[in-house]
Amino acid sequence: MSAVITSTINCKSLSLSPPWISRDNSPLKRRSTKVSCAKSPDDYHSTLKSLNSRGRFPRKSLGQHYMLNSDINDQLASAADVKQGDFVLEIGPGTGSLTNVLINLGATVLAIEKDPHMVALVTERFAGSDKFKVLQEDFVKCHVRSHMDSILESRRLSSDPDLALAKVVSNLPFNISTDVVKLLLPMGDIFSQVVLLLQDEAALRLVEPALRTSEYRPINIFVNFYSEPEYNFRVPRENFFPQPKVDAAVVTFKLKHPRDYPDVSSTKSFFSLVNSAFNGKRKMLRKSLQHISSSPEIEKALGVAGLPITSRPEELTLDDFVKLHNVISSE
């Protein structure tokens, strides 16, 4: 079974010894959208009560927007197919409303939280659970890979291949969503899937950009190189406190294992080419890639790759960029 991780981590003081990690790996049937929780699910009143009990108000600087609808948390977990024995990483657990759903489904949760007040809140809330650990740290500065390798080491000895991978399920602070996507998607050897609640506009840009539009950017090549993205459903802004100015959406990124990445000689040089291609609005590739090769050589490479010599970056799919990169790098 896959593992799922939630919340905040203090990377410097993180103890990754296995006693708190559940050994119960018995299978469960795929969960339904609705979940019967051992503890009552969080709702509007319980979430505000948790915040008020500590005199807390969401901090705009941290992009904090707390979920007020327990059904959305159930659907987030359902999108990730969270099951008994899973290991889940949660980024920004807040008051622990999503964490509660994950634990009650039988998952072990590692949460990474930047706000020390929220760390104290969820630490107290789940003090009696051996399936939860929260670490105080800024996720985008935390060395997630080294910590996850330590956590998953014993699980990789199992005959069940799903146990070797974890999952990420999170209602992200909106202001770090792009950074989180860039950090997590290349980790297909650690996570099987990443399920995130993002701003709706950002979700659509990542998952459903159309070719030949200004919304098509290098990040779209990146997302499709490392994953199979899916837009799950929209979440109206009224479900959050404080209410943001935009709606949100749940997106699933099914991560590709490194052995299944597109065949390029170097991912570094590939993405360097992609980023260069998009430099300069609507420039033809024979112009934007001149620092790599001369215009005639770029035109020749485009022809060998089966692309028009007048091609612009927003007209190329992931496969097109792979072909072009491989032609140029082989010369």
What is the model's pLDDT at position 296?
95
What is the model's pLDDT at position 39?
47
Instruction: Give how far Cα 43 sits from Cα of 6, 69, 174, 240, Å.
Output: 19, 5, 21, 11
Do the Cβ atoms of 116 and 54 come closer than 8 Å? Answer: no
Q: What angle is formed at CA 254 by the lines to CA 267 and CA 248, rounded to 5 degrees?
A: 110
Do the Cβ atoms of 181 and 72 come closer than 8 Å? Answer: no
Could you tell me if 276 and 210 lie in one domain?
Answer: no
DSSP characters for 161-197? GGGG-EEEEEE--GGGHHHHHHHHTT-TTTEEEEEEE
Could you tell me if 105 and 129 lie in one domain?
Answer: yes
* pLDDT at 191 > cutoff 60: yes
Output the average pLDDT for the chain.
84
Residue where a domain stops, chosen among 228, 259, 290 = 259
Query: Which one has a higher pLDDT value, 60 or 110?
Result: 110
pLDDT bin (cut points 50, 70, 90) of residue 218 is very high
* pLDDT at 180 > cutoff 50: yes
Could you tell me if 298 and 155 lie in one domain?
Answer: no
Could you tell me if 64 and 199 lie in one domain?
Answer: yes
Residues 229-245: pLDDT tens digits? 999 999 999 999 888 89
Number of domains within the chain: 2
Could you tell me if 160 and 253 lie in one domain?
Answer: yes
What is the model's pLDDT at position 311?
96
Could you tell me if 171 and 302 lie in one domain?
Answer: no
Give the mean model confidence (pLDDT) for residues 297-317. Answer: 97
Give the mean model confidence (pLDDT) for residues 165-175. Answer: 93
Could you tell me if 130 and 185 lie in one domain?
Answer: yes
Tokens of 301: 């490479």
Do the Cβ atoms of 219 and 229 come closer than 8 Å? Answer: no
Residue where a domain stops, chosen among 231, 259, 287 = 259
Residue where a domain stops, chosen among 259, 289, 311 = 259
Task: Give CA–CA dist 6/91, Å, rounded.
Answer: 5
pLDDT bin (cut points 50, 70, 90) of residue 41 is low
List the one residue out of 60, 65, 125, 79 whose CA is nearest residue 99.
125
Could you tell me if 311 and 248 lie in one domain?
Answer: no
Find the range with the poorest average confidence among 7-11, 30-34, 81-85, 100-104: 30-34
Residues 47-83: pLDDT tens digits? 555 655 555 555 555 556 788 899 999 999 999 999 9
- For the annotated binding site for S-adenosyl-L-methionine, the residues are 65, 67, 92, 113, 138, 171
**Cis peptide, bond prior to residue 258, ω within 30 of zero:** no
Give the mean model confidence (pLDDT) for residues 281-309. Answer: 93
What is the model's pLDDT at position 13?
37
Instruction: Give how far Cα 165 sits from Cα of 16, 192, 193, 254, 281, Å.
Output: 16, 6, 9, 12, 40
Global confidence as pTM: 0.82
Could you tell me if 83 and 136 lie in one domain?
Answer: yes
Could you tell me if 60 and 134 lie in one domain?
Answer: yes
Give the mean model confidence (pLDDT) for residues 267-276. Answer: 97
Question: Percentage of the chain with pLDDT > 70?
Answer: 80
Could you tell me if 233 and 323 lie in one domain?
Answer: no
Report the CATH number that the domain containing residue 326 is assigned in CATH: 1.10.8.100
Give the mean model confidence (pLDDT) for residues 186-192. Answer: 97
Query: Which one has a higher pLDDT value, 66 or 42?
Result: 66
* pLDDT at 175 > cutoff 80: yes
Could you tell me if 247 and 315 lie in one domain?
Answer: no
* pLDDT at 184 > cutoff 70: yes
* pLDDT at 186 > cutoff 50: yes
Give the mean model confidence (pLDDT) for residues 111-140. Answer: 94
pLDDT bin (cut points 50, 70, 90) of residue 169 is very high
Domain enclosing residue 289, as ranges: 267-330
- For the annotated binding site, the residues are 65, 67, 92, 113, 138, 171
Report the CATH number that the domain containing residue 187 is assigned in CATH: 3.40.50.150
